[in-house]
Amino acid sequence: MPRLTRIYTRKGDDGTTGLGGGQRVAKDALRVSTYGTVDELNSVIGVALASGLVPRLAQTLPVIQNELFHLGSDLCFLEDDKATYRIPQIEPRHVEALETLMDELNDVVGPIENFVLPGGAPGAAHLHVARTVCRRAEREAITLAHEEPVGAFVIPYLNRLSDALFIMARYENHQRAIPEPIWNSQL
C-alpha cells in the first residue's frame, strides 16, 4: 500500500507522468488517458453513492470502486512489468462477480420493454452517467489494446461493468418505485 507524505512532486511540470514501472510518458498518452477515465468513472460512482442509493447498491459499489483501483493498477503497468511487480489486477473472478450481480438485479427489475432514458431517481441518473463514462473507458481501452498489450480482463470487466451500471440504475428506480423514463419514438 503506497504511503504518500506529499501530493505534489513537480515531476509532471514538463507534461509527463510516471507509469507504475517508472517509465516517463506524456500525460496525454493513451494509456494515461485510459486509466484517467477509469479514475473519472470511480469518482462518478462516488457521486452516485453520495446521493444515497438503496442499501443493496450502497453495499456493492464500494467493492466495485476498489476493483476500479485494481483496473487502474492493471493499466498503469506495462504488461512486461507485471512479471516484475506484484500488483493488483482484474481477474476472471471480478468479471464473474459482475455477471452474478447482474443476474440477481435483473431478476428483480425484469426485462426491458423499451429503450430506457437516463433519469428517474437522482441515484439512478448518476449511475447512468457512470455507465456512459464506463463505456468511454472501454472504448479507450480497446483503442489502447490495438497499440499495445493490456491485461486480459480489462476490456471484459469494463464491458460487464457498463451493463451492470445500467441494471443498477434500473434497480435504483425500481426499489424507489420511480417509473423508468422510457424513450417515446413518436415525439
Element (H, E) at 104: helix 92-109
Cell for 14?
A: 514538463
Q: How many residues does the chain have?
A: 187
**The pLDDT value given to residue 109:** 95
**The pLDDT value given to residue 35:** 94
Question: Could you give the C-alpha distances from 32 to 9, 24, 111, in angstroms and in order?
Answer: 18, 11, 37
For the segment 89-138, what is each residue's pLDDT rounded down to a tens digit?
999 999 999 999 999 999 999 998 888 989 999 999 999 999 999 999 99
The mean pLDDT values, 10 residues at a time, for the chain of 187 residues are 62 68 78 95 98 98 97 90 88 98 97 89 97 98 96 97 98 95 82
Domain ranges of the chain: 16-175
**The pLDDT value given to residue 7:** 61
What CATH number is given for 16-175 in this structure?
Answer: 1.20.1200.10
User: Contact, 17 vs 32, CB < 8 A?
Assistant: yes
Kindly give the interhelix angle for 55-76 and 30-50, rounded to the nearest 10 degrees: 170
**The pLDDT value given to residue 15:** 75
Can you say whether residue 52 is alpha, beta or left, with left for phi > 0 and alpha for psi between -120 and 50 degrees? left
